Structure 1
Amino acid sequence: MTVEEWLRGKLQGIGNQLTLNELQVAVDATGDIDDERFMAISLTDEKDDYRGNKIFLDSLWYALSELLSAMSTATNTGQKSEKRGNRQITTGGISYTKSDRDRYLNRANEIRKNLGLAPKDMETDREGMSDYTYMRNRPNTCTKGGWR
């Protein structure tokens, strides 16, 4: 079983809707962490080749925690549309509720705790981007110049 198959299997029901890029970002995080307890892994690595290797297994679980953390900030899995023959087929994505996102973050933090890492707090990320379009073309009312 490859790392990709393992990650998809851990996310039953939605694992197959995740793109390779989303999985790759989570796996790349294992090479980015500056901790000797983890090693860089690849989506194509065979899990069975590393049987009994604690560093590999911890890295695998770390990648899953990174994927779950990323999913805790998502709102849905999007839609996919493709043409098959003379038909257009659209596969609808799954929408995540706040409780789904909280569950993903809690699961990620539980994994991080088991690995001896600090939990992630995503509260600031959950609010999304701020919309400042109302400030466009607004007259400068500040007497000192600049925005206030």
Structure 2
Amino acid sequence: MPLLTVEGRKYRLGVITGEDLAWTIPVDERTIALEVLRQPSDESPTLFLRAAGRVISVSVRGNEGQRVYFVEVNGRLLIVDLEEDSPSDRASESTGIDGPALVNSPMAGKIASMKTSVNSKVEEGESLMVLEAMKMQNEIASPRKGTVKELYVKHGDLVKAGDRLCLVS
């Protein structure tokens, strides 16, 4: 599982899901839904995304295979270190994480389908439900391996960004 360090802060990235222009990325205990507005090209190396209603421009400078990248986000230059953490690191950290993980909605939308139920066993990165937003289907992934303890929404519910969706422990 990739470990991203940005300005000294570490973030654990989960399995990126989605297709074409809609991605869902688990980051630590949150799930971020991204809409790709414009892909980078030879003429313009900038990627434009929408996340939580905001447009973000991202340019990356760094060679493939390097750990350190220079990433410009909305004009701000960041130094980003990307590494694969070891299983022993994850094991030691996971034993230090007690308690459930609350999954919140990354954006406003409608629950298009439920892919789990209370007391279901789930794997990290496994789809819990599908959120339809801006006519796009966004998979909401489990932030950790565990059991779905509570569901706060059902098929057809309308949610706002930050609303509770489920609890995984």
Structure number with the higher helix fraction is 1
TM-score in terms of structure 2 length: 0.25
TM-score, with length taken from structure 1: 0.27
Task: Say which structure is richer in strand.
Answer: 2
Q: Which structure is higher in RCO with an 8 Å CA cutoff and minimum separation 6?
A: 2
